[in-house]
Amino acid sequence: MTTITDPAALPALFEARLNAGDIEGVLSLFTPDATMRTTTGAIISGRDALHHEISGTVAAQGRLTNVPRHILDGGDTALLVTDWTMEITTPDGTRIAPTGTTANVARRLPTGEWGFAVLNPLGTA
């Protein structure tokens, strides 16, 4: 796995790993205590819940495109705002492509590596 020394790398790595179907690779981008707000509005945390969410996206043939808007780095914490499109296949076989803007928080771990601590694909909604 890649050592992430710049929080700006996180959105592109998330996109690449998700699109490759690499669930463990996506999970490696999260801090151990990460929390995520799903696109349905549910708040999840813990490795099992995050694994379940990412697995569902991979199973729906998710194809993510991230376009970073800006990053505000405040020492050991960074706010990453990213525009996204996620193509997925619904249970009835329809292919849809919802879009949105994230408001994610990354944190530098004691190892110096960065990871997502809070993921909010719904941005300010």
Which residue ranges form the domains of the chain, and what is each CATH number? 7-119 (3.10.450.50)
For residue 59, the one-letter residue type is: A
For residue 45, the one-letter residue type is: S
In the predicted model, what is the mean pLDDT of the chain? 95
Segment 96-111, tens digit of pLDDT: 999 999 999 999 999 9
User: Residue 109: its pLDDT value, please?
Assistant: 96
Averaged pLDDT for residues 8-37: 97
Query: Rounded to whole angstroms, what are the CA distances from 68 to 4, 15, 82?
Result: 16, 11, 4
CB atoms within 10 A of CB 125: 11
Bridge partners for 114 per DSSP: 108
Averaged pLDDT for residues 79-100: 96
Looking up tokens 């110096």 gives 112
User: Residue 1: its pLDDT value, please?
Assistant: 63
Looking only at the bridges linking them, the beta strands covering 63-73 and 43-45 are unpaired
Look at residue 15 and tell me whether its pLDDT is greater than 80. yes
Give the rounded percent of residues in the chain with a pLDDT score beyond 90: 94
Averaged pLDDT for residues 19-45: 96
The answer for residues whose C-beta is within 8 angstroms of residue 120's C-beta and 6 or more apart is 36, 37, 102, 103, 104
Q: Look at the pTM and tell me if it is higher than 0.85.
A: yes
Averaged pLDDT for residues 70-80: 96
For residue 32, give the 3-state DSSP assignment: strand
Reported confidence tier of residue 125, pLDDT bands at 50, 70, 90: confident
